[in-house]
Structure 1
């Protein structure tokens, strides 16, 4: 009997140990994900107290407008559309071990291109075909804008953080110049592009104000997730991100894959700008820059570059964005305080990752 029961007891012990380890892993992930968010909310609340604003009232207005109001939740879901495209582009870059921080410049150039091309194209072809062409033009322009950082990283080893940030400043300035000098609507006194008629924009969902760009954004991030996790191409990109030298020894064309990563990431950023203009804005005004590109980065990191998890964190970011605008008007808080909150999340997340890394190293030692 002892011979028969010993293996069973060992198996039960192994199962119990495995279950405990799994629960620890889940709790650890939850702590590393939700902990920075809660810490950032507390720190931001302290800042609000320091300037004489009730943080509970501020967060209450954020939830009331961004989540519990019927019109607010529609605005929140609409705001998600461009953010999902940007998140998809960042997932491609980050999983491949590359930092495309030029999303804002690529976004604005895509938006300006769509705003300039769509009103003209709808006059000479069916609206659905004109919108598709505008999407493609925006994507190609954003891809072209990423070409210089991609080539410098691929063939010269130049740090892409520096080059993409520099291209962001140049792209933002170029977008403003194009709006003011090249694509300016002569029929208005305000420097802006021509306005795309409402009936020619992306259709709404279910008789609401939610743009169908939300569906496109969800499709984009899900496709990116599946490509990065279920295809040979995605495996190649992850190998390049994990160990570029090993990728070279494995015979992978690292320079070509590097250019492809930047092109895909930038193309998705350009589509984000096109979706925002064609689906919501209708035009682009001079000096318009919502700075979505950098705001999405914490959401992607909190999701651990997982496309499905990123959808949830993008929704949270949209709630903060829409609700924060309402709270700012009611309480006299600067309109960009949401960006401050997002920045605090990123800083706390980086600190948490550093502490966790040092703790794991000390345990292994």
Structure 2
């Protein structure tokens, strides 16, 4: 029993270390890049903390965390089934434009409560429907879902622009954008804060899906399906339906994220606007080992870094794209750490054979010299 507990403790420690090391290495590497650019890394990171956490700025970070966490769960669902839903931009923007475009009129006609519910359900339905074609093609013909979801995303982004200009355009604005929700019609705040209740929805979604994926028969079937679709068929799991269901759930959650984001933070959608949430959080989803609850601290870290880092980049005279450099570095170091960790777990050296041989030769020469001496 003690051996089992020690083994679990070692595995848990290994998971934590392998999750944290890429972030630390990325931050250290980014510090050297800042030095090379003539910037002060300590001042930069200090500004990140100041503008992302201190003086009440943590509330802005948690507001930003809301759609990111929901989208993280949406990606985890399909990734657990070894499927790829990379159409998050199109699904998000299409859901968002309908929420923003219909919101002002519905608020006046049926009031905030029913409008929140109706728009959220509509957004979830739009996000889900936009995954249906890639899901069906994957289930029926085995078509590569990476390509089909990216194509559908491009179509969705373009269609969003057309809807803004020709259907939901605010007649009082020259810039193509939807009408803006009144401040009083936005999602209510958590008492005593400036954080809207969408943040609570995001936490509930993470906890609920943590339970579903790890404690229910559906989660077990999903893991079997993700491990081997052939094995899933042998135990009576319908792989085609599982593929479609996973995509629908993922798309619906992305639609939910769009609804919470528009109703709680933005209030409108402007043409050519795309927050690109999915691509930015993908490394953190894998660092969390595809765990909805496990992703919470990583998404919180990124939210703080993005909120404070935007201001810090401007203050340092850098492009805000520097944040994407750090995200890319995390992805690179995550790949390296996983490679090294997997080799060590299998009892293998992480050094390539050629490099091991290069190290071995001087050692052999030294040994021979000692023998002759």
Task: Give TM-score, length-normalised by structure 1.
Answer: 0.91
Whole-angstrom CA distance in 1 between matches of 2:291 and 2:155: 31
Residue of structure 2 in register with 1:257 after alignment: 242
Structure 2: gaps spanning 5 or more residues: 350-373
1:234 has 2:219 as partner? yes
Residue of structure 2 in register with 1:40 after alignment: 26
Partner secondary structure for residue 124 of structure 1? helix
Partner secondary structure for residue 318 of structure 1? helix
Whole-angstrom CA distance in 2 between matches of 1:360 and 1:24: 11
Residue of structure 2 in register with 1:182 after alignment: 167
How many Å apart are 1:20 and its aligned residue?
A: 4.4
Whole-angstrom CA distance in 2 between matches of 1:162 and 1:283: 30
User: Which among 197, 201, 205 is matched to residue 216 of structure 1?
Assistant: 201
Query: Equivalences for 1:171-320 in 2 at 5 Å?
Result: 171-320=156-305
1:130 has 2:115 as partner? yes
Partner secondary structure for residue 269 of structure 2? coil
Whole-angstrom CA distance in 2 between matches of 1:84 and 1:215: 11
Task: Give TM-score, length-normalised by structure 2.
Answer: 0.90
How many Å apart are 1:362 and its aligned residue?
A: 4.8
Residue of structure 1 in register with 2:91 after alignment: 106
1:168 has 2:153 as partner? yes
How many Å apart are 1:24 and its aligned residue?
A: 2.8
Partner secondary structure for residue 204 of structure 1? coil
Partner secondary structure for residue 308 of structure 1? coil
1:93 has 2:83 as partner? no
Whole-angstrom CA distance in 2 between matches of 1:45 and 1:305: 29
1:354 has 2:349 as partner? no
Q: Is the 8 A contact 1:97 1:238 kept in 2?
A: no
Count of aligned pairs? 349
How big is the alpha-carbon RMSD for the aligned residues of Structure 1 and Structure 2?
Answer: 1.6
Whole-angstrom CA distance in 1 between matches of 2:291 and 2:146: 22
Whole-angstrom CA distance in 1 between matches of 2:250 and 2:221: 16
